[in-house]
Chain A
Amino acid sequence: MDNQYFVDSEFLSPAALEKKHRLERDPSSRKNHMEYLPGMEQISSGVMDQVMGHRNTYDPAAYTAKDVLAALRRDTCTIEDFKALLSPAAEAYLEPMARRAQAETQKHFGNTVYLFTPLYIANYCENYCVYCGFNCYNHINRMKLNMDQIRHEMEIIAQSGMEEILILTGESRAQSDVAYIGEACKLARNYFRMVGLEIYPVNTDEYAYLHQCGADYVTVFQETYDPDRYEQLHLMGHKRVWPYRFEAQERALMGGMRGVAFSALLGLADFRRDALASALHVYFLQRKYPHAEMSLSCPRLRPIVNNAGINPLEVGEKQLCQILCAYRIFLPYVGITVSSRETAQFRDGIVRIAATKVSAGVSTGIGDHESKYTGRDTGAEEGDEQFEISDGRSFDAMYRDIEGQGLQPVLNDYLYV
């Protein structure tokens, strides 16, 4: 059933190919995805049970137009209301949902839209996640930037005017260890006012260390909150351990991070139940850590190098808009980020309704900011991209377009003290 994701490379050895096929075809050859591996910290948290209790009993088809209307007229959106807003019955009420979402966004964020850019510093990966361009069986140009190269990338990005950066790596502790990422954070503090991380999940003490190094926001995507589906898509590597990933944001907060970001990758499993679980993950963690800042993203599946056929299936723009409106109405205080996976037209529309943060000047490749920003072939080595982007607008173009819509682009609102 997942043949759309499986791509064999001619560069794999017969032994590697044999192992890959075994992992794909024989579930018994795969490790237990619910079991922590040695070295993985286990925290006692009630949040997972709370989230999964709702997710497991959620039946989107059970909600009617009446439930949707009742949800829209209530002052405070309850969990039940939110379930109605995510249901197929709410698709007919997209416009009133957008109006309510817009009102909530304006109440909590005014007309501000935050800008950031991602910086991929390495694309080595030890996981086999079948939909991801960085997966260890995908034949791509692998690369890890050294500190001089990272500095060069940061200079180029900072010169564009960007003040917030999100540092990303593939998930390889061997190639990109915590010390390496920490050094990159220290470097980033020289160029940027705000440094976020999107790396493999680590233990509390490691988050504390990275926080000391200058990072203060951690993004971890759960991909899907359906553990059975997760098991079929993440066949090998540390990422296969579903509960360790689920608890990453809580460990990050325990390690002293200021904020955490969440998402499911829409299109991998039942997107309504994944959207429900993503938002409840935020909701219950916020109740437990009321001081923390939280934000939601909403990535949809995109084509990758060597597999152009990957797509978000039944999650169209209307469904994505519905999810984002429901997020905003249920969690009016959280940031909502819409990445360059979406088109310029979609992003221009959604920042008027629900989104509060967009990326600009984006590359998901390694070491290619100069060539991408200037259009020149610099002759420098470059690593391949994680996925194809849709909105290639530069920092300047994005800034102009946001202003042109009567909104206020914000580069940073946080000062390290």
Chain B
Amino acid sequence: MDHDKLILGGKEFTSRFILGSGKYSLKLIEAAVRDAGAQIITLAVRRANTKEQESILDYIPKGVTLLPNTSGARDANEAVRIARLARELGCGDFVKIEIMRDSKYLLPDNQETIKATEILAKEGFVVLPYMYPDLYAARALADAGAAAVMPLAAPIGSNKGLAAREFIQILIDEIDLPIIVDAGIGRPSQACEAMEMGAAAVMANTALATAGDLPLMAAAFRQAIEAGRAAYLSGLGRVLVRGGSASDPLTGFLRS
């Protein structure tokens, strides 16, 4: 476990919890870093405060990697412009692409996301695209130069957990990139399950932000993610299948 690192864009992380950007407060960032161990914190560039005071940037502790996202972009062009703006603002080369053309469910538009990924990867960005878990789109994102793929587990903010479990598993099995489960994770147990499946990291925000005791919930997420990761690395145990096995051997025909 000591050598188990999450590597994104050549950068090493020991934490596999990423704080999302949905609901922000100083308390949340504090708890995420101190209690959940977050080393990556997302920042919605469009929603960053433009006034002098209360800029989220001021709250980001040292040693934490800022992950600006393109939240609010409606197509690839807007996302590309937001990403470039973030780099100009000194947010670094990491960018999480979020392109939504639906204001009700906020579901990511895979097609536009692929386009933006290709442009930004060519410009040297470490591109982390948020996407709907579709194998073809994930392959296209990998081909376009994404550094990881971030499928949603359930509609964003819904706290419904791994609704897309089977499809996320396919991405984990088939895509040679870290798969970071993003959106919809509502409880530590769900984060744990995603990690057991082989996800590289989990991103959450609402689950912490809406908890009764924020620091306690942040610690619970940390433990759940670490437990799930350890279970994945150790190899899960035997699952008992109902029903006995037939007595007639299948291999009785072999002679030598």
Bound CA–CA A73/B237 (angstroms): 7
Does any Cβ of B come within 8 Å of A348's Cβ?
yes
A287 & B174 in contact (Cβ 8 Å cutoff): yes
Contact with A along B149-186 (1 / 0, CB 8 A): 00000000000000000000100011010000000000
Contact with B along A287-327 (1 / 0, CB 8 A): 10010000000000000000000000000111001000000
Interface positions, chain B 5-25, Cβ under 8 Å from A, are none
**CB-nearest residue of chain A to B176:** A287
B235 & A353 in contact (Cβ 8 Å cutoff): no
Closest CB in chain A relative to B240 CB, distance in Å: 10
Does any Cβ of A come within 8 Å of B53's Cβ?
no
A99 & B245 in contact (Cβ 8 Å cutoff): yes
Bound CA–CA A349/B237 (angstroms): 31
Bound CA–CA A332/B254 (angstroms): 22
Interface positions, chain B 212-256, Cβ under 8 Å from A, are 235-239, 245, 249-256
Closest CB in chain A relative to B223 CB, distance in Å: 25
B255 & A317 in contact (Cβ 8 Å cutoff): yes
Known contacts A70-B235, A74-B236, A76-B173; A98/B251 CB under 8 A: yes
Bound CA–CA A212/B200 (angstroms): 44
**CB-nearest residue of chain B to A349:** B253
B139 & A321 in contact (Cβ 8 Å cutoff): no
Size of interface on A: residues with Cβ below 8 Å to B: 22
| CB-defined contacts of B239 to chain A, threshold 8 Å | 73
Bound CA–CA A73/B60 (angstroms): 44
A102 & B250 in contact (Cβ 8 Å cutoff): yes
A73 & B254 in contact (Cβ 8 Å cutoff): no
Closest CB in chain A relative to B169 CB, distance in Å: 8
Among the listed A287, A290, A316, A348, which residue makes an inter-chain contact with B256, where contact means beta carbons less than 8 Å apart?
A316
Bound CA–CA A74/B176 (angstroms): 20
A318 & B256 in contact (Cβ 8 Å cutoff): yes
B250 & A317 in contact (Cβ 8 Å cutoff): no
| CB-defined contacts of B237 to chain A, threshold 8 Å | 73
Size of interface on B: residues with Cβ below 8 Å to A: 19
B235 & A321 in contact (Cβ 8 Å cutoff): no
Interface positions, chain A 387-409, Cβ under 8 Å from B, are none
Does any Cβ of B come within 8 Å of A44's Cβ?
no
Closest CB in chain B relative to A311 CB, distance in Å: 11
Does any Cβ of B come within 8 Å of A346's Cβ?
yes
Closest CB in chain A relative to B248 CB, distance in Å: 11
Bound CA–CA A102/B246 (angstroms): 13
Known contacts A73-B237, A76-B173, A99-B245; A318/B254 CB under 8 A: yes
**CB-nearest residue of chain B to A319:** B256
| CB-defined contacts of A348 to chain B, threshold 8 Å | 253
B251 & A321 in contact (Cβ 8 Å cutoff): yes
| CB-defined contacts of B254 to chain A, threshold 8 Å | 94, 316-318, 321, 346, 349
Known contacts A74-B235, A317-B256; A95/B250 CB under 8 A: yes
| CB-defined contacts of B256 to chain A, threshold 8 Å | 316-318
Known contacts A73-B239, A76-B173; A95/B249 CB under 8 A: yes
Among the listed B235, B236, B251, which residue makes an inter-chain contact with A94, where contact means beta carbons less than 8 Å apart?
B251
B139 & A353 in contact (Cβ 8 Å cutoff): no
DSSP majority for the B interface? loop
Closest CB in chain A relative to B134 CB, distance in Å: 13
A95 & B176 in contact (Cβ 8 Å cutoff): no
Contact with B along A75-118 (1 / 0, CB 8 A): 01000000000000000001100110010000000000000000
Q: Which one of B176, B236, B250 has the greatest number of beta carbons of chain A within 10 Å?
A: B250
Bound CA–CA A290/B134 (angstroms): 14
Closest CB in chain A relative to B241 CB, distance in Å: 10
A95 & B174 in contact (Cβ 8 Å cutoff): no
| CB-defined contacts of B252 to chain A, threshold 8 Å | 349
Closest CB in chain B relative to A159 CB, distance in Å: 32
| CB-defined contacts of A345 to chain B, threshold 8 Å | 253, 255
| CB-defined contacts of A353 to chain B, threshold 8 Å | 250-251
| CB-defined contacts of A95 to chain B, threshold 8 Å | 249-251
Interface positions, chain A 181-215, Cβ under 8 Å from B, are none
**CB-nearest residue of chain B to A70:** B235
Known contacts A287-B176, A316-B256, A318-B256; A73/B238 CB under 8 A: yes
Closest CB in chain A relative to B173 CB, distance in Å: 6
**CB-nearest residue of chain B to A67:** B235
**CB-nearest residue of chain A to B174:** A287
**CB-nearest residue of chain A to B252:** A349
B139 & A290 in contact (Cβ 8 Å cutoff): yes
Bound CA–CA A416/B237 (angstroms): 46
Closest CB in chain B relative to A328 CB, distance in Å: 12
Bound CA–CA A49/B237 (angstroms): 33
Q: Which one of A73, A94, A348 has the greatest number of beta carbons of chain B within 10 Å?
A: A73
Q: Which one of B139, B235, B237, B245 has the greatest number of beta carbons of chain A within 10 Å?
A: B235
Bound CA–CA A95/B249 (angstroms): 7
Bound CA–CA A404/B252 (angstroms): 18
Does any Cβ of B come within 8 Å of A273's Cβ?
no
B250 & A98 in contact (Cβ 8 Å cutoff): yes
| CB-defined contacts of B251 to chain A, threshold 8 Å | 94-95, 98, 318, 321, 349, 353
In addition to A74-B235, A316-B254, A349-B251, 14 A-B residue pairs with Cβ atoms within 8 Å of each other are: A70-B235, A73-B238, A94-B251, A95-B249, A98-B250, A98-B251, A99-B250, A287-B176, A316-B256, A317-B255, A318-B256, A349-B253, A353-B250, A353-B251
Which A residues fall within an 8 A CB radius of B? 69-70, 73-74, 76, 94-95, 98-99, 102, 287, 290, 316-318, 321, 345-346, 348-349, 352-353
What are 9 A-B pairs at a CB distance below 8 A? A70-B235, A73-B238, A95-B249, A102-B250, A287-B174, A290-B139, A316-B256, A348-B253, A349-B254
Give 3 nearest A-B pairs by CB, closest first. Answer: A349-B253, A316-B256, A98-B250
